[in-house]
Amino acid sequence: MSALFTPEEALTYHQQGRKGKLEVVPTKPCLTQKHLSMAYTPGVALACKEIEKDKHKVYEYTNKGNLVAVVSNGTAVLGLGNIGPEAGKPVMEGKGVLFKIFADIDVYDLNLRVSDPDQLIEIVKAMEPTFGGINLEDIKAPECFYIEKRLIEEMDIPVFHDDQHGTAIISGAGLLNALEIVGKDIDKVKMVVSGAGAAAIACCRFYVSLGVKKENIFMFDSRGLIHKGRENLNEQKLEFAQDKDYGSLAQVMKGADVFVGLSVKGILTPEMVKSMASSPIIFAMANPDPEIEFEVAKEVRPDCIMATGRSDYPNQINNVSGFPFIFRGALDVYARKINEEMKLAAAKSLAALAKEPVPAEVLKAYGLEHLDFGPDYIIPKPLDLRILEWEAPAVAEAALQTKVARKEIDLDKYKQELKLKLEKSRERLSQFVATYNLSF
């Protein structure tokens, strides 16, 4: 468990006051007979008739444009595995909290007792009239690839599997900056990847979009290097199969420029790190314990740039720096999908923000005196509120440029609106804490 809290504190947090972490609140007054008659019958019929004439007006007269479904069947929850939809619900509620706090997006968490991929697809498709976007979460591989692909093809709203693309986008931003710092070209680096699940496959696909050569990616699963001489490889692993077997992880790590870990604690040894090329980049993202401890990696290779999934070390790869703001930008232009250009825009905006001076409130939140772009600061801190103003407009602009947006916006005006949106969201959170007398 985290040193920040005890098990008892975590359980009390979820149990205190109203159970769980989310509630539904009205956004319009309902204090008089007039209010009631407009909220429901007969006044609501006017909105219904307008939408009947033009279904896209559902964005104007309902909450669809600010509502995301977080959908899971509980088959791959965090590091807990297939624990089922009920046990996965606290995670999905937590996702909803992050959507609301960081980007003022409303969420219904939908925890489905469905194991058949085709059945899950049909259920989600049927919900399209209600939601402006679908966040798939904690669905096991390889089914998650098939489910997301089908839904993207068959739905007219954004569908985004965060377990795949969230880590890819945030780590991609860090990779761009790390390579710039060490002075290496992205199309020339040798990359070794430990792990071949949904996140690892998505990361590698995204790194290829950024410029990494596919033939320079050496991916390992629990059976060793993925290569074309192996049998029973699924189509996702075959996508990154090397032409032949180049040996063990220790052998392939020799001369590697980048290590990406999405696997298990301790798989990367000090000897392997020593054998890497000059100024190695190590993204050890296994949670809660990375593939190699930060202190160990730094001791054997002081010249390395290292990132982990942990908040107590520099360069945290945290999905919260991605999904709320990606959906914010997509929703605000009524996007039909989240495409590769929008993901690239998100990563590049994060990479650019890391080069800006860090505000005092961010330093205070992390107990730091200064924070400057360099080996120990290659991506913005997750609690940096400026991410909303940088990432969401970048995503929205990419949607407009690639013609998947249904609504034109003034980007300069939009950035100002985002500032107000975040301030209001923070105010609501403060009022909630005061109302319920929470001590956390």
Q: Exactly one of 95, 298, 381, 421 is catalytic; which is it?
A: 95
Domain ranges of the chain: 25-162, 165-308, 319-436
Per-residue confidence (pLDDT) for residue 438, from 0 to 100 = 47
Please write the tens of the pLDDT for every residue from 343-374: 999 999 999 999 999 999 889 988 999 999 99
* 246 is an active site residue: no
Superfamily assignment of 165-308 in CATH?
NAD(P)-binding Rossmann-like Domain (3.40.50.720)
Say yes or no: do domains 25-162 and 319-436 share a fold. Answer: yes
Per-residue confidence (pLDDT) for residue 431, from 0 to 100 = 65
Per-residue confidence (pLDDT) for residue 432, from 0 to 100 = 56
- Helix-helix angle 340-353:386-401, to 10 degrees: 150
Please write the tens of the pLDDT for every residue from 26-49: 889 999 999 999 999 999 999 999
Kindly report the backbone phi and psi dihedral angles of residue 118, in degrees, each rounded to the nearest multiple of 5, phi listed first. -65, -35
| CA of residue 83 relative to chain centroid, distance | 21
Contacts with 317 (C-beta within 8 Å, 6 or more apart), sequence order: 167, 170, 171, 174, 283, 285, 307, 308, 309, 379
Q: Give the CATH class of 319-436.
A: alpha beta
Q: Exactly one of 40, 61, 246, 436 is catalytic; which is it?
A: 40
φ/ψ bin of 120: left (φ > 0), alpha (ψ from -120 to 50), beta (otherwise): alpha
- Helix-helix angle 117-126:143-154, to 10 degrees: 30
Mean pLDDT over each residue of the chain, to the nearest integer: 93
**Coil vs helix vs strand at 52:** helix
* 313 is an active site residue: no
CA distance 58 to 157: 13
Question: What are the residue ranges in the chain where pLDDT is below 50?
Answer: 1, 438-440
- The pTM score is 0.92
Per-residue confidence (pLDDT) for residue 281, from 0 to 100 = 98
Options 3.40.50.300, 3.40.50.10380, 3.40.50.620, 3.40.50.2000; CATH of 25-162: 3.40.50.10380
Per-residue confidence (pLDDT) for residue 205, from 0 to 100 = 97
